[in-house]
Amino acid sequence: MPQDVAIVVGAGPGLGAALARRFAEAGLTVAVARRRKEELEALAAETGGRAYACDAADHGAVEALFAAVERDLGSPAVVSFNAGAYRPGGILEITPEDFEHCWRVGCLGGFNVGRAAARRMLEAGSGTLLYTGATAALRGSAGFANLAVPKFGLRALAQSLARELGPKGIHVAHLIIDGQIASERPGYSPDERGPDAVLDPAAIAEAAYQVHLQPRSAWTQELDLRPWVERF
- Report the distance separating Cα 183 and Cα 88, nearest Å: 19
- Report the distance separating Cα 10 and Cα 148, nearest Å: 18
Task: Check whether 191 has a pLDDT greater than 80.
Answer: no
Q: Helix or strand or coil: residue 78?
A: strand
- Report the distance separating Cα 15 and Cα 203, nearest Å: 9
pLDDT tens for each residue of 121-139? 999 999 999 999 999 999 9
Which residue from 81, 77, 68 is spatially nearest to 114, judged by alpha carbons?
81
pLDDT tens for each residue of 92-132? 999 999 999 999 999 999 999 999 999 999 999 999 999 99
Tell if the pTM clears 0.75, that is, is over it.
yes
- Report the distance separating Cα 156 and Cα 162, nearest Å: 10
Mean pLDDT of 202-228: 97
Mean pLDDT of 169-178: 97
Sheet of 5-9: strands edge to edge?
Answer: 50-53, 29-34, 5-9, 76-81, 127-134, 170-177, 222-225
Which residue from 8, 78, 81 is spatially nearest to 47, judged by alpha carbons?
8
Task: Check whether 2 has a pLDDT greater than 70.
Answer: no
- Residue 67: the pLDDT is 98
What is the full DSSP assignment across 100-168? HHHHIIIIIHHHHHHHHHHHHHHHHT-EEEEEEEEGGGT---TT-HHHHHHHHHHHHHHHHHHHHHGGG
Tell me the sheet residues that pair with 8. Answer: 32, 80
- Report the distance separating Cα 95 and Cα 92, nearest Å: 8
- Report the distance separating Cα 16 and Cα 24, nearest Å: 12
Answer with the residue of higher pLDDT: 133 or 180.
133
Are 120 and 127 in contact, with CB atoms under 8 Å apart? yes
Q: Domains along the chain?
A: 5-225 (3.40.50.720)
Percentage of the chain with pLDDT > 70? 96
Q: How far is CA 22 from the centre of its chain?
A: 14
